[in-house]
Amino acid sequence: MPLQLTKFLFAKTLRLVLLVAAVATLSFVLVSRSPIDPVDAYVGAAVMKISPEQRQMIIARWGLDRPPLERFGRWAAQLAKGDFGVSTIFNEPVTAVIAKRFVTSLWLMVLAWCFSGLLGFALGLIAGAWEESPADRLIRLYAYTMASTPTFWVGMILLMLFSVYLGWTPVCCAWPPGLSAEQATLWQRLHHLLLPAVTLSLIGIAQITLHTREKTIEAMRSDYAVFARAQGESPGGIVCRRALRNVALPAVTLQFASLGELFGGAVLAEQVFAYPGLGRTTVEAGIRGDIPLLLGIVLFSTIFVFTGNFVADLIYYLVDPRLRKTAGGFS
């Protein structure tokens, strides 16, 4: 392994460790200062009353009677061993809950990620190759509109149109109610997945479209593009033969770097469609005061987003020889 690549990987690993430590500390402080009583959230104080003795038993079992610094130390020691604790909602290890729910969300995020990347890249090429044309104006209008539109609003509109009025898609869930994930067929899962994935894709297309458009315009105004146009080559030919490779690398790295926005959008989309993925579990853990699960999801999402940025930087490092000479310049 080249020395520069070793330094690059070591720097990224060290940054990940520091980032996880900072996020863990800040998240624990915020959760500890939360006005939500975890015991009331767990037992459902509005529905069921418990005696002071029972409350004290729950507090002692969870270690809430200990000082915050001691609780953080015990939790950090467990994290170092790979133990994220037990979810109070599901009564399962946090890692098991995250693994099951993330697999469900992964179908949604992968489909939306691929669709938004491919279509956004194509629309960006078209808009940039034919700058200020009717097609460019229409694509920009769509991109700017979607970039400023909340994910949950788009989801609600699509839900009312295609599920309520037209009845083409299911109203909720990741598979038909009454069936388990193992009993549902591939077609049933895709049918329930379609509308949430389209919702995420419509929002995600905007960023990659606008970025690709700008890079394509730069390529079309370069000297080699001007020379090719003087030789009689069409804008489409210039894009396919000369500008495509220069535009593709920034688009791919941007797509990997957008995993954080994709995860955030999935939280809102899963709420609208009652999709039982990791995003909906995050909201449920916050509302019901499941502190171990909430902290586990925060750390997992931190690593997930960091991985996307790491892959984006690694692609640039491996493809662009200029960056290999200045590996310390990565963000």
Of 155, 261, 254, the C-alpha closest to 211 is 254
How confident is the model at residue 319, as a pLDDT? 67
CA angle 221, 113, 117 (to 5 degrees): 15
**What's the whole-number mean pLDDT along residues 243-257?**
78
Angle at CA of residue 201, ends 198 and 202, nearest 5°? 85
pLDDT band per the 50, 70, 90 thresholds, residue 328: very low
Cβ contact 195:158 at 8 Å: yes
Q: How confident is the model at residue 330 (pLDDT cuts 50, 70, 90)?
A: very low
The count of structural domains within the chain is: 2
Q: Which of 51, 83, 115 is the last residue of a domain?
A: 83
Q: Is 43 exposed, middle or buried (0-12, 13-18, 19+ CB in 10 A)?
A: middle
Residue 29 lies in a domain: no
pLDDT-derived band at 48 (thresholds 50, 70, 90) equals low
Query: Which of 29, 57, 83 is a domain's end point?
Result: 83
| Domain identity same for 103 and 235 | yes
pLDDT tens figures, 149-173: 888 888 888 888 888 888 888 877 7
Report the DSSP beta bridge partners of residue 86. Answer: 93
Q: Give tens-digit pLDDT for 105-127.
A: 888 888 888 888 889 888 988 88
Predicted confidence at residue 50, as pLDDT, reads: 67
Q: Which of 213, 214, 212, 243 is nearest to 228 (CA)?
A: 243
| 189-243 pLDDT, tens digit each | 888 888 888 888 888 888 888 888 888 888 777 777 777 777 777 777 777 776 7
- What does pTM read for this prediction? 0.76
Q: Domain span at residue 307?
A: 94-329
Q: Is residue 137 part of a domain?
A: yes
134 with 254, same domain: the answer is: yes
- How many angstroms separate the CA atoms of 150 and 165, rounded? 22
What value, to the nearest 5°, has the Cα angle with vertex 318 and ends 315 and 321?
A: 125
